[in-house]
Amino acid sequence: MQLVVKAGETARRAFEAKPLPENVSVHWLEQGESIPPADAYFDLCFEDRGEAAFKDIAGSPVFVDAVNSVASQLPANSIRINAGPGFLGNEKIEISAATDEVLQAGIAILDALQWKYVQVPDTIGMVAPRVIAMIINEAYFALGEAISTKAEIDTAMKLGTNYPYGPFEWSEKIGLKKIHTLLQQLAAQSPRYTIAPLLEKEAQSTKPINQ
């Protein structure tokens, strides 16, 4: 099986850490390079670049790291995956698609790769990013109310909930601007996602707020 992957440095390291069967080879697509034929394509740069890397591909499944977009905003053969920093290495990958036909084509590839997955609704934020974004937002509310420091809140969450990262560690790993974009879209649907003033301020700043 041949895979073609478009990824930045962080996403590439996470992808390379995933186990692959011996019969699978990976071609890392470079900027300006012609896209070679493959059994499946992985676009792990979509949310950073703002455009689909494999929009002209037809007939092969295209997995797109698209947490902040729904399937109808992507090319028809796209399978949305949650492959952002800290998520691609999870035991199961969240996936969704516009149609069952496209979804099943993607599942066939994931089965061949021996990767576990979970089908989630085709909604903004999928599941884990939506939950993590809310946790980060609540942590910023607590920080703004001077309840504790970033370091102490991170430590409390890791010790109290056994999370792999604290909310501020998550925000650094994922990227606060991405969290802010997701929360903006979610807040348009429900006031429960109203952005914490301090998160809003830091997302618009070039420097993190050290507290």
173 and 96 inside one domain = no
CATH code at position 188: 1.10.1040.50
CATH code at position 16: 3.40.50.720
| Residues 21-45 pLDDT 10s | 999 999 999 988 999 999 999 999 9
19 and 84 inside one domain = yes
Classify burial at 85, counting beta carbons within 10 Å of its beta carbon; exposed 0-12, middle 13-18, buried 19 or more: middle
Classify burial at 65, counting beta carbons within 10 Å of its beta carbon; exposed 0-12, middle 13-18, buried 19 or more: buried
| Residues 140-172 pLDDT 10s | 999 999 999 999 999 999 998 888 899 999 999
- Taking the model in full, what pTM does it have? 0.90
